[in-house]
C-alpha cells in the first residue's frame, strides 16, 4: 500500500459513504426524478444562501458551464494566471464559450480588488468585453492559498459596481472555510456563482456542484445537457456527496495539520528549497539541483510514497482523507533520512 500524496482526488469511499450510496433512493435525473440528487442540490443551495444548485460530473464541467452562462462570445474573463480554468481545463473557455482570458499576476494566485478593477477594459468596439471575474479558493497552483473574506467582499463590490459577474472556483472551498472560520453563506452572499468539488478532500468518488441564482441554474442545466452531462440515476453519487458534506468537512483541518508538519520537516532538508507557505492541504517546494523531480519521486516511491512533479524543479504534496497522521509520520521519517 502506497501513501499517495499525488492529489486529494485519489481518495476511495469510506464504508459509511458506501453504505449511504448503497441505500440511496434514485430516479432519472434528466427528468428531475432523482430525489437524492435534488436533496444534494437543495442542501448546497441552502448552505451557501443561494436559490439553486446543479450536480455536475466534474469540477471542470461546473466551471465551464459557469463561464458559458455568464458570458457571450467575444467577452473575456478576468482571472489569475494560475487559475485552473486557464491552466488545466484544456482551453475550454475558448472552445465552449468563445471568450478570451485577461490573466493577472496575483500573490500565489490571490487577486486584489485594485488589480481586478484596473483590468476591466473600456467599452471600445475593438476590445474584448470584460464581463466576468473568476477567483479560485483555495488556489491549487498557488499552493492551496486562500482568500480572506474582506478581499472577496472588495472584489465583489467592484464586480457589482462595474456590472461584471463574479464566479468562485471553490474546488477546495471547504479547506479554506475550516481555516478562516467563515460560513458558506458569508461567501455565498458575495458571489453570483460557486463551484465546489465533492471528489477532492471531501472524499466522494465523483461529482461537483454549481451553485447560483434560479435563472442562472436553469440555464446551467441546459448547458450541462448540451455538454453531455445530463445523467440518469445519479442519486448513488449524490448520496456520497451528502455524506461527504455531513461527515468530511471538519476533519479537513487534520489534512492541513499533516501538510504543515511535512513542511516543517522540509525546512531542515538541505535538498529542499523555496518551500511555499502551507495554508491548507497543498505543499509545493523546489528541489536543489542536481536532484531532479524524476529522481526524487523514484526514490520516494521506493519508500512507498507517491507524489507528483509540478514544474521542472518543483514537487507537490497533497494531504487528504486517505493520509492518516501515522502515514504522515512515516513520510516525515523518510524525508528526514533522505
Residues that bind ligand PLP (CB under 6 A): 58-60, 63, 84, 136, 140, 169, 171, 197, 199-200, 208
Query: What's the min distance (Å) between Cβ of 143 and ligand PLP?
Result: 12
The CB density around residue 33, as the number of other CB atoms within 10 Å, is 14
Residue closer to ligand PLP by CB (options 59, 229) is 59
Query: What's the min distance (Å) between Cβ of 212 and ligand PLP?
Result: 16
Q: How many CA atoms lie within 13 A of 292 on its CB side?
A: 3
Query: What's the min distance (Å) between Cβ of 297 and ligand PLP?
Result: 20
Query: What's the min distance (Å) between Cβ of 254 and ligand PLP?
Result: 19
Q: Residue number with the shortest CB distance to ligand PLP?
A: 59
* SS3 at position 41: helix
Query: What's the min distance (Å) between Cβ of 24 and ligand PLP?
Result: 21
Residue closer to ligand PLP by CB (options 58, 247) is 58
In Å, how far from its chain's centre is CA 313?
Answer: 24
Residue closer to ligand PLP by CB (options 208, 328) is 208
Residue closer to ligand PLP by CB (options 129, 172) is 172
Q: Looking at residue 122, what DSSP letter applies?
A: P
Are residues 145 and 164 in contact, defined by beta-carbon separation less than 8 angstroms? no
Residue closer to ligand PLP by CB (options 154, 280) is 280
Bridge partners (DSSP) of residue 170 are 196
> In whole angstroms, what is the distance from residue 214 CA to residue 109 CA?
30
> In whole angstroms, what is the distance from residue 167 CA to residue 48 CA?
13
Cα separations (Å) of 125 from 121, 128, 234? 11, 8, 45
Amino acid at each position: 500500500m502506497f501513501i499517495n500524496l499525488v492529489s486529494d482526488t485519489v481518495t476511495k469511499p469510506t464504508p459509511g459513504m458506501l453504505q449511504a450510496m448503497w441505500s440511496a433512493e434514485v430516479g432519472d435525473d434528466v427528468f428531475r426524478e432523482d430525489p437524492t440528487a435534488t436533496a444534494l442540490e437543495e442542501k448546497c443551495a441552502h448552505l451557501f444562501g443561494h436559490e439553486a444548485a446543479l450536480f455536475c460530473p466534474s469540477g471542470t464541467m461546473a466551471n465551464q458551464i459557469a463561464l458559458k452562462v455568464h458570458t457571450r462570445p467575444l467577452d473575456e474573463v478576468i482571472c489569475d494566471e494560475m487559475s485552473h480554468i486557464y491552466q488545466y481545463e484544456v482551453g475550454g473557455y475558448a472552445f465552449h464559450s468563445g471568450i478570451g482570458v485577461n490573466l493577472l499576476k496575483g500573490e500565489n494566485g490571490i487577486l486584489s480588488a485594485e488589480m481586478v478593477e484596473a483590468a476591466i477594459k473600456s467599452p471600445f468596439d475593438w476590445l474584448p468585453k470584460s464581463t466576468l471575474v473568476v477567483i479560485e479558493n483555495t488556489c491549487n497552483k498557488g499552493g492551496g492559498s486562500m482568500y480572506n473574506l474582506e478581499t472577496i467582499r472588495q472584489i465583489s463590490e467592484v464586480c457589482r459596481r462595474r456590472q461584471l459577474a463574479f464566479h468562485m472556483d471553490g474546488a477546495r472551498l471547504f479547506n479554506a472555510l475550516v481555516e478562516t472560520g467563515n460560513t458558506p453563506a458569508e461567501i455565498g452572499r458575495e458571489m453570483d456563482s460557486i463551484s465546489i468539488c465533492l471528489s477532492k478532500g471531501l472524499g466522494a468518488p465523483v461529482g461537483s456542484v454549481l451553485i447560483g441564482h434560479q435563472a442562472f441554474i436553469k440555464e446551467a442545466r441546459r448547458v450541462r445537457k448540451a455538454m453531455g452531462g445530463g445523467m440518469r440515476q445519479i442519486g448513488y453519487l449524490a448520496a456520497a456527496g451528502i455524506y461527504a458534506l455531513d461527515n468530511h468537512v471538519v476533519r479537513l483541518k487534520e489534512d492541513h495539520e499533516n501538510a504543515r508538519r511535512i513542511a516543517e520537516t522540509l525546512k531542515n532538508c538541505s535538498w529542499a528549497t523555496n518551500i511555499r507557505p502551507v495554508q491548507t492541504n497543498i505543499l509545493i517546494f523546489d528541489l536543489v539541483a542536481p536532484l531532479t523531480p524524476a529522481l526524487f519521486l523514484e526514490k520516494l516511491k521506493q519508500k512507498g510514497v507517491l507524489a507528483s512533479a509540478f514544474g521542472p524543479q518543483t514537487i507537490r504534496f497533497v494531504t487528504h482523507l486517505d493520509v492518516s497522521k501515522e502515514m504522515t509520520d512515516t513520510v516525515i521519517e523518510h524525508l528526514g533520512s533522505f
